[in-house]
């Protein structure tokens, strides 16, 4: 499942130290026992979460006297705005489903509670890079990972064989594969660089070691144009400029047709790609295969993330321990995880649930690759940390505007990256955040 990324900034922004120290109602729910009676409200958008909550309510929750009611919400910026507004009125729900990228915004707005005491012992259940997204690099824990979107390489197995191509294991090999295909079939492209979904570019930058937002003292540091991201931008910009790959956006009728007809024979995407391919190119079912993302250094196993969300407890909850107990159960208990896969269609962040059970069988679209989820789990273990800030929406908007123009004109991606950096820094300053140069 793919979730679009959003963040909302506020006019009177809190200092970055508040982000790291976990400001807000310090121990509001700590006096509450992890057992009831307690009636909790959970705002979420993933389908079927009410059915998963029913398992809790009839089992562990019943024993503890804790009932959870799921209230379906819109996803993306709608939910972020709604939860911040509710928190300002001290009417936020007990729990909320939050995208990883939105966590700094919610923490900066004093929405989320630090549940490290209640659920910090779950760290070992998740890949280190995924866990880091819920701690924001601090000693606090602002949510528990729910689902993740590790990046992978998808390719038309039949066409790779037809054109005598090898699956690239490094980005250098990826570039050579793109050029080799162009020589053999000038009307075809290995893939396209798309500017209409910023999350893919962010994930590729993460794999290269980028840390776009970090904090020091009471200031934010923005490094969107750091050497790692410059390397990624130059790589893709170079391929677009020389015509080795296409420069058209994803998710359009033309893109669907390119996948269906074999005009585009590969796609860098995330673990949820089978669902998208089922809709975009249904007639090519069984012709695709998945492999690890090409590496910058041969032999490594590092990937980035595209999408994913977490379960957080709010500062308004009067039953923090009870809410944290449910959040922990939801994202670590085998029965809960199996239900999340079945009812919500997610790829669980918990490593133990990434193979076997509901994921013991490959996606129907990839029936030709029975070890799909076994391979995916190995790839997910190498998920790189991500460093998000309080104005992801501004950065992503700047990416779409500037990279779209650069891709269309086949011009310098470095200039587009600088514009993205400048727009993000200017917005932080405008919103009142301290920014270190």
Check residue 218 and give its pLDDT. 86
pLDDT in tens, 94-142: 999 999 999 999 999 999 999 999 999 999 999 999 999 999 988 999 9
233-253: average pLDDT? 97
Pairing label, strands 213-216, 219-222: antiparallel
Task: Could you list the beta-strand ranges (E) of 358-437.
Answer: 435-436
Check residue 417 and give its pLDDT. 98
pLDDT in tens, 386-436: 999 999 999 999 999 999 999 999 999 999 999 999 999 999 999 999 999
59-84: average pLDDT? 93
Check residue 150 and give its pLDDT. 97
The 3-state DSSP class for residue 337 equals helix
Phi, psi of 145 (to 5 degrees): -60, 140
Per the rule left: phi > 0, alpha: psi between -120 and 50, beta: everything else, 396 is: alpha
The answer to whether 310 and 134 are in contact (CB under 8 A) is yes
Task: Give the predicted TM-score (pTM) of the model.
Answer: 0.90
Residue 430, Cβ neighbours under 10 Å: how many? 13
Check residue 357 and give its pLDDT. 87
47-57: average pLDDT? 97
pLDDT in tens, 27-39: 444 445 566 689 9
Beta bridge partners of 356: 359
């Amino acid at each position: 499942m793919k979730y679009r990324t959003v963040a909302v900034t506020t006019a009177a922004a809190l200092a970055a130290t508040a982000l790291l120290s976990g400001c807000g109602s310090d121990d509001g729910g700590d006096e509450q026992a992890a057992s009831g009676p307690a009636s909790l409200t959970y705002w979420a958008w993933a389908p079927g979460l009410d059915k998963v909550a029913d398992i809790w309510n009839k089992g562990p929750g019943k024993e503890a006297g804790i009932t959870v009611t799921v209230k379906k919400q819109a996803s993306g910026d709608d939910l972020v705005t709604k939860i911040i507004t509710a928190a300002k009125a001290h009417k936020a729900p007990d729990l909320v489903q939050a995208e990883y990228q939105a966590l700094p915004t919610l923490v900066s707005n004093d929405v989320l509670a630090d549940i490290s005491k209640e659920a910090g012992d779950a760290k070992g259940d998740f890949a280190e890079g995924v866990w880091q997204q819920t701690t924001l690099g601090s000693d606090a824990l602002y949510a528990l990972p729910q689902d993740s979107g590790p990046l992978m390489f998808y390719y038309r197995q039949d066409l790779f064989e037809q054109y005598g191509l090898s699956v690239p294991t490094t980005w250098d090999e990826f570039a050579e594969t793109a050029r080799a295909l162009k020589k053999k079939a000038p009307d075809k492209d290995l893939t396209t660089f798309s500017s209409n979904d910023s999350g893919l570019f962010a994930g590729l930058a993460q794999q290269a070691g980028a840390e776009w937002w970090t904090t020091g003292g009471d200031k934010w540091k923005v490094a969107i144009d750091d050497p790692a991201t410059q390397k990624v931008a130059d790589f893709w910009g170079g391929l677009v400029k020389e015509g080795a790959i296409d420069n058209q956006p994803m998710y359009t009728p033309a893109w669907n047709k390119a996948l269906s007809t074999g005009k585009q024979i590969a796609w860098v995407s995330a673990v949820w790609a089978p669902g998208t391919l089922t809709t975009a190119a249904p007639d090519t079912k069984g012709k695709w295969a998945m492999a690890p993302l090409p590496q910058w250094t041969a032999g490594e196993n590092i990937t980035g993330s595209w999408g994913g969300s977490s379960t957080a407890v709010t500062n308004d909850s009067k039953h923090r321990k009870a809410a944290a107990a449910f959040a922990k159960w939801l994202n670590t208990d085998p029965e809960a995880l199996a239900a999340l896969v079945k009812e919500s269609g997610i790829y669980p962040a918990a490593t133990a649930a990434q193979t076997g059970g509901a994921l013991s069988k490959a996606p129907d679209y990839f029936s030709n690759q029975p070890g799909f989820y076994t391979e995916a789990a190995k790839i997910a273990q190498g998920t790189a940390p991500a460093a998000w800030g309080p104005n992801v929406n501004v950065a992503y908007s700047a990416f779409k505007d500037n990279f779209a123009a650069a891709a269309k004109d086949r011009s310098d991606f470095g200039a587009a990256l600088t514009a993205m950096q400048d727009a993000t820094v200017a917005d932080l300053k405008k919103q009142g955040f301290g920014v270190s140069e």
